[in-house]
Amino acid sequence: VIEVDGNHGWLPGDVEFLVSISQSLCLATFALFPEETLKDIITAVQMFPTTRIWKEKNHGKREQHLFRRMILSSILRFIQGIIAVLATFFLVVTSTTVVDVTLNFAAVNLISSIDETAFSLATEGYYHIKTLKEKGKEIENKKLPSDILGKVYPFLNLLITCIAFFTLVPWAMYIGINQTIGTYLDRGIFRVEFGDTSGLKGYSGCYKAGDVPFKSRMVGERFFYEYYN
């Protein structure tokens, strides 16, 4: 028998309730215990140069060039973090099993931490390349001018964490509930062909999802379909 229902667009339409729960839990953990992905956004906001303090001082061309590069660095880091967060969200909500949810979630965090891991290994001399170790230590010990960075506000960490949590988790719950109840199942017209030995040959033909109230659309965990001529 040909299956008559399936996915609608890129969102799976027939996931189990346990999968929906795991999706929301993964994203809640992602927001409440920030890894490198979300830390990129937090660092970009905290490290963004303070224009007001900068304008109060008389700086030369070198300092002005450093100031512009700091702005560019913060913007690029912020964009990278946002893209990584979105990638994590979409990978999680499009997973159809608990194993897929877990693996996709872990894979994104692993990829996001590669640069930090590589930098740490370089500064520790793991690669046995003297230049890498020296440059890594130099970057690690480099201090930026305080008049560029201004004051660091710890509450921004909590604010960004809350924004991430109350954005990702409710959306994941909304999508998960709709996936569980079959909202995203394809309800178009299908051709079904039963085999000769099935005893159901007379039911072969075209079917469409029943146009009935929401509570009556399901039989068990499946939509029912009516004959369409």
Task: List, for residues 151-210, the tens digit of each pLDDT value.
Answer: 667 888 889 999 999 999 999 999 988 888 767 766 666 677 777 777 777 777 777 765
Low-confidence ranges of the chain (pLDDT < 70): 1-9, 50-63, 144-152, 182, 185-190, 209-225, 227-229
Q: State the virtual CA torsion across 203, 208, 214, 220 in degrees, nearest 10.
A: 30
pLDDT, residue 28, reads: 93
Strands in the chain per DSSP E: 189-192, 205-209, 218-219, 222-223, 225-227
Beta strands across the sheet bearing 189-192: 189-192, 205-209, 225-227
